Amino acid sequence: MTDFDDDLSNDFDSAPVRLTVDLAALVDNWHDMARRSGKARTAAVVKADAYGMGIEDAGEALFLAGARDFFVATVDEGVTLRLYAPEARIFVLAGIWPGTERRFFENDLVPVISSEEQLAFWMAVLADYGDYPCALHVDTGFNRLGLHIDEALALVEDVSRPASFAPVLVMSHLACGDDPASPMNRQQLESFRKVSRAYEGIESSLVASAGIFLGDDYHFDLTRPGISIYGGEAVNGMVNPMRPVATAEARVIQVRTVSAGESVSYGRALRLTRDSRLAIVSAGYADGYMRSQSSGGVPLRQAVPQGGQGFFEGYKVPVAGRITMDLTIFDVTDLPENLIRAGDYIELFGKNILVDDAARAAGTIGYEMLTSMGLRHERKYVAEDE
């Protein structure tokens, strides 16, 4: 008779696709960004299920490490996080909408007000419920979300606003923080300084991961690192100082020998020029391993010839042909014979294939790679290097 607990313990070891999350690296990265933030306090951005890492485990680890300010995208994320960060201040970037008020109040969540429509609704909520904190998002040139600067400045002088309207934070977001040479950064800084001065006595926050590297002028009272704490690159052209956090792997289903001249995968996108050994693994674009990493037969390869790579036992192995929904083929011809077998795991990205390198092969960024991982990854959380 099979022991049920043993079955559960073996889920990770036998999973078709699996993700190892190094919580020690996550915490180290957050502390690193806190040091780089100087005198500013450092929040943690855990939206999109903590960038694919799992908001429950990542949020709790960051809270235990000392994070007391968190940013999520939606009220649902905030409700979940509250269970794991009981004393934290949790800001909801999507703001508040009719019908969500009770969930904000019951879970002690802080709405980020980003438009005149949200502001009007929030004023009405305060009239019914009384004092409650909020944050104001001011657009300083990004043209995504936020009150116009003139609207934000006028609000300071608006004598008709309820006395219970008391923002605890004013914030904005850089459009070009990943490009330190962009003049847009300085323009937005000067615009935000006007807002910060107008809201004297209220904390200010301008920068996320990339902006932290721009220096003390940009830090204000609170910084908001996201991608950097998950190990991703934040600044273009700079060696990434962050530790990798996520390692994604896929199980080898079959190793097959194919003759020179034969083709591989859909559309015959790859024609083999030598006798080859191919490892077929159980991950595809349904698992976030993007089709655009295919070695051929996709438009990106016309501009960037090389597709994605995996890693096994000290060897990088290229993707062979098109990536499909549930399967990817790797060329393992250059590995010693019999080194790789069915049941082994190939690293898709992690400590050996950095997530941003995998993303570049797909024509995208590490943010998308991390947040695109599907629900089929069996997760394992480690608190130290194993």
Check whether 300 has a pLDDT greater than 80.
yes
Under CATH, which architecture does the 23-230 domain have? Alpha-Beta Barrel (3.20)
Residue 130 confidence (pLDDT): 84
- From CA 60, how far away is CA 53, in angstroms rounded? 12
Check whether 1 has a pLDDT greater than 60.
no
Of 173, 310, 188, 187, the C-alpha closest to 252 is: 310
Please report the DSSP string for 268-322 in residue order: G-EE-SS-EEEEEES--GGGT--GGGSSSSSGGGGTS----EEEETTEEEEB-S-
Tell me the pLDDT band of 6, cut-offs 50, 70 and 90. Answer: low
Residue 181 confidence (pLDDT): 97
Check whether 2 has a pLDDT greater than 50.
no
Check whether 366 has a pLDDT greater than 60.
yes
135-156 residue pLDDT tens? 999 999 999 999 999 999 999 9
Q: What is the mean pLDDT of the chain?
A: 94
- From CA 142, how far away is CA 175, in angstroms rounded? 5
Cα within 13 Å of Cα(331), Cβ side: 25
312-333 residue pLDDT tens? 999 999 999 999 999 999 999 9
Residue 164 confidence (pLDDT): 78
**Could you tell me the two tokens for 266?**
């859909």
- From CA 287, how far away is CA 331, in angstroms rounded? 20
Tell me the pLDDT band of 163, cut-offs 50, 70 and 90. Answer: confident
Residue 9 confidence (pLDDT): 55
- Mean pLDDT over 331-341 rounds to 96
Domain boundaries, the chain: 23-230, 246-382
284 burial (CB, 10 Å; 0-12 / 13-18 / 19+) is: buried
Residue 160 confidence (pLDDT): 75
Check whether 59 has a pLDDT greater than 60.
yes
Please state, in angstroms and as integers, the Cα–Cα distance from residue 62 to each residue in 172, 211, 264, 266, 369, following that order.
23, 21, 44, 43, 22
At 31, give phi and psi (nearest 5°).
-60, -40
Taking the CB of residue 71, how many other CB atoms lie within 10 A of it? 27
Taking the CB of residue 265, how many other CB atoms lie within 10 A of it? 22
Check whether 3 has a pLDDT greater than 60.
no
- Mean pLDDT over 171-194 rounds to 98
Q: Per CATH, which fold does 246-382 belong to?
A: Lyase, Ornithine Decarboxylase; Chain A, domain 1 (2.40.37)
Check whether 5 has a pLDDT greater than 60.
no
Percent of the chain at pLDDT exceeding 70: 97
- From CA 386, how far away is CA 384, in angstroms rounded? 6
Check whether 189 has a pLDDT greater than 50.
yes
Percent of the chain at pLDDT exceeding 90: 88
Residue 182 confidence (pLDDT): 98
Residue 4 confidence (pLDDT): 43
166 vs 244 pLDDT, higher one: 244
Check whether 10 has a pLDDT greater than 80.
no
Residues that are catalytic? 47, 266
203 vs 3 pLDDT, higher one: 203
Which DSSP letter does residue 38 get?
T
- From CA 349, how far away is CA 369, in angstroms rounded? 9
Query: Which has the minimum average pLDDT: 36-50, 212-226, 365-379?
Result: 365-379
Reported pTM? 0.94
213-267 residue pLDDT tens? 999 999 999 999 999 999 999 999 999 999 999 999 999 999 999 999 999 999 9
Tell me the pLDDT band of 127, cut-offs 50, 70 and 90. Answer: confident
Amino acid, res. 65: A
118-127: burial string, b at 16+ Cβ within 10 Å, e else: bbebbeebbe
Give the distance from CA 367 to its chain's centroid.
5
